[in-house]
């Protein structure tokens, strides 16, 4: 009896001590316990954006008391939302400084600082961010949700200033014979694509306003995706490795100043410069898109090379001022960028134009001013011997911006790359010919370099880009001449 009584008394005493310990811990750091709970952390985010002062202030107090640095990303979103006129949280900036231990004047500086950290946001952040962006366009909510697989930091996704499809894609656009394209001048820059003998030109004065063309070229579905911010026009074969055919639109969202395009079939977000799904149902599926070679040149030179070409009709069905430089001439002629990118290199000027090539996963950048000077470059990327042909030099533009007025800028250069095998090439007697080591001429074509005996050096796909746009995704890139 006495033993049982003692055992019960000891048990009760132990339970009381444990209970008192829990109370003591809770009274010392109640918010730490709360914010380590996923549901509480999620609720705090929605309290912060509720517009109800008492809920907002309570959430800030709880987060600061817990010193929960996961909310750094949340407060960065809130100060941006304030700049955009979406929502005002009075103490967001002070809370951000307190949590981060940093102080910056501009939102862009916060983004660049955050990108270099290993901080992570609270659970539920993606859907909460989608809820914030939905106040701009309800369709953003379908892209940004926690159920969608992701292989990028959602914190770095930015609003690009337009609604979903606010930059409208051209779907199966009307093409006209070259002779009927009276709106084009000989020196107008165009993107040229040839598939199965079907030659098509996409003038920049039109593509600047649309940034995406879903077309059928030589019987193949091709999406020409043009990111004006990073200077990259890349053509993708819409027939993916999963057996499905995809067409694309512009989401209105950016990642490291590169447009996030989306496919119309699953509404997955894709990285435009890598051609990979990054947020949505297709992430992690191993899906791949093949590249289709594309070249930038002038309308005059494209017609000389492809007398049978067709070209975009200026009657697109959209009301846009299709004048060179009208949309982005000020940006193209400036050294500045519009959106923050934290992963940078000073090896080249940030908006130096390069020809970007990836061979067996190894990226390499070729500054176009060097290519224009050397005209033919023999190189090796990984295990592949390549030759880069740029015999026509730089394409300069004189245009007129709707904001800045007259502008002058470099649109790029006519550059093609080929697998040269055992051959070594040098410039030929004209822009359409290169010479091998024996002095024999090879014809420069869209499919291959073709020797006099029918020998071929097949074309490989590359594209132009601004240096900052390329380095942001390929920091391990090699640079020709460095």
pLDDT tens-place string over residues 116-159: 999 999 999 999 999 999 999 999 999 999 999 999 999 999 99
Mean pLDDT of all residues in 318-346: 96
Q: Which two structure tokens, joined as six digits, stand for 202?
A: 């996409």
Average pLDDT, the chain: 92
Write the CB contacts of 159 (distance below 8 Å, at least 6 apart in sequence): 84, 133, 136, 140, 252, 253, 254
Q: How many other CB atoms sit within 10 Å of the CB of residue 7?
A: 10
Stretch among 31-35, 104-108, 423-427 having the lowest mean pLDDT:
31-35
Identify whether the C-beta of residue 275 lies closer than 8 Å to the C-beta of residue 282.
no
Residue 24 has pLDDT above 80, yes or no: no
Residue 370 has pLDDT above 50, yes or no: yes
How confident is residue 10, by pLDDT bands cut at 50, 70 and 90? very low
Identify whether the C-beta of residue 250 lies closer than 8 Å to the C-beta of residue 167.
yes
Mean pLDDT of all residues in 168-181: 98
**Residue closest to 376 by CA, chosen among 361, 360, 389:** 389
Residue 402 has pLDDT above 50, yes or no: yes
Q: Which two structure tokens, joined as six digits, stand for 47?
A: 């309290």
Q: Which two structure tokens, joined as six digits, stand for 375?
A: 């005209």
Q: What is the pLDDT of residue 18?
A: 33
Residue 13 has pLDDT above 70, yes or no: no
Strand 232-237 and strand 291-292: pairing?
Answer: antiparallel
Total residue count of the chain as it appears in this document: 482
Q: How far apart are CA 77 and CA 158, in angstroms?
A: 9
Q: Which two structure tokens, joined as six digits, stand for 469?
A: 């746009």
Mean pLDDT of all residues in 27-38: 44
Mean pLDDT of all residues in 36-63: 92
Beta bridge partners of 426: 435
Mean pLDDT of all residues in 82-107: 95
Identify whether the C-beta of residue 459 lies closer than 8 Å to the C-beta of residue 346.
no
Stretch among 10-14, 136-140, 448-452 having the lowest mean pLDDT:
10-14
**Residue closest to 129 by CA, chosen among 80, 164, 58:** 80
Mean pLDDT of all residues in 197-215: 98
Residue 390 has pLDDT above 80, yes or no: yes
Q: What is the pLDDT of residue 380?
A: 97
- Strand order from edge to edge, sheet including 462-466: 462-466, 353-359, 362-367, 478-479
Q: What is the pLDDT of residue 38?
A: 79
Q: How far apart are CA 220 and CA 271, in angstroms?
A: 22
How confident is residue 217, by pLDDT bands cut at 50, 70 and 90? very high
Q: What is the largest CA-CA distance in the chain?
A: 113
Residue 231 has pLDDT above 80, yes or no: yes
Q: What percent of the chain has pLDDT over 90?
A: 91
Residue 17 has pLDDT above 70, yes or no: no
Mean pLDDT of all residues in 349-365: 97
Mean pLDDT of all residues in 79-92: 94
Q: How far apart are CA 278 and CA 275, in angstroms?
A: 9
Q: What is the pLDDT of residue 39?
A: 87
Cα–Cα–Cα angle for 88, 90, 91, rounded to 5 degrees: 130
Residue 32 has pLDDT above 80, yes or no: no
What domains lie within the chain, and their CATH numbers? 33-147 (no CATH), 170-312 (no CATH), 338-395+411-479 (2.102.10)
Q: How far apart are CA 5 and CA 9, in angstroms?
A: 6
Whole-angstrom Cα Rg for the chain? 28
Burial class of residue 461, CB neighbours in 10 A (0-12, 13-18, 19+): middle
Q: How many other CB atoms sit within 10 Å of the CB of residue 168?
A: 17
């Amino acid at each position: 009896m006495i033993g049982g009584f003692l055992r019960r008394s000891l048990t009760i005493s132990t339970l009381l001590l444990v209970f008192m310990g829990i109370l003591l811990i809770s009274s010392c750091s109640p918010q730490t316990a709360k914010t380590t709970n996923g549901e509480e952390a999620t609720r705090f985010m929605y309290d912060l954006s509720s517009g109800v002062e008492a809920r907002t202030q309570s959430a800030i107090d709880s987060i600061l008391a817990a010193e929960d640095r996961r909310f750094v990303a949340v407060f960065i979103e809130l100060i941006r939302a304030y700049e955009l006129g979406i929502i005002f949280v009075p103490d967001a900036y002070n809370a951000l400084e307190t949590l981060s231990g940093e102080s910056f004047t501009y939102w862009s500086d916060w983004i660049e600082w955050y990108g270099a950290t290993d901080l992570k946001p609270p659970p539920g952040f993606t859907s909460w961010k989608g809820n914030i962006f939905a106040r701009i366009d309800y369709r953003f909510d379908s892209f940004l949700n926690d159920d969608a697989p992701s292989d990028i930091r959602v914190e770095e996704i930015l609003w690009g200033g337009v609604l979903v499809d606010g930059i409208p894609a051209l779907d199966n656009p009307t093409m006209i014979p070259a002779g009927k394209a009276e709106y084009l001048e000989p020196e107008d820059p165009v993107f040229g694509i040839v598939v199965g003998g079907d030659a098509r030109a996409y003038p920049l004065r039109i593509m600047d306003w649309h940034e995406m063309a879903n077309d059928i070229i030589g019987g193949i579905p091709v999406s020409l995706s043009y990111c004006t911010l990073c200077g990259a026009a890349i053509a993708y074969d819409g027939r993916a490795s999963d057996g499905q055919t995809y067409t694309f639109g512009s989401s209105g969202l950016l990642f490291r100043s590169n447009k996030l395009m989306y496919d119309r079939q699953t509404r997955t977000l894709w990285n435009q410069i890598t051609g990979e799904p990054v947020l949505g149902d297709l992430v992690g599926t191993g899906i791949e898109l093949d590249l289709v070679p594309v070249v930038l040149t002038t309308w005059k030179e494209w017609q000389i090379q492809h007398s049978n070409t067709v070209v975009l009709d200026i009657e697109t069905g959209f009301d846009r001022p299709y004048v060179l430089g009208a949309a982005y001439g000020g940006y193209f002629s400036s050294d500045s960028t519009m959106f923050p990118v934290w992963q940078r290199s000073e090896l080249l000027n940030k908006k130096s134009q390069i020809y970007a090539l990836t061979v067996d996963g190894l990226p390499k950048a070729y500054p176009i001013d060097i290519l224009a000077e050397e005209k033919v470059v023999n190189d090796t990327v990984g295990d592949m011997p390549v030759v880069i042909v740029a015999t026509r030099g730089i394409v300069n533009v004189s245009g007129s911006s709707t904001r800045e007025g007259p502008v002058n800028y470099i649109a790029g250069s006519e550059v093609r790359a080929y697998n040269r095998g055992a051959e070594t090439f040098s410039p030929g007697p004209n822009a359409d010919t290169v010479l091998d080591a024996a002095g024999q001429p090879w014809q420069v074509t869209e499919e291959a370099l073709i020797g006099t005996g029918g020998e071929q050096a097949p074309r490989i796909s590359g594209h132009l880009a601004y240096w900052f746009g390329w380095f942001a995704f390929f920091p391990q890139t090699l640079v020709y001449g460095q």
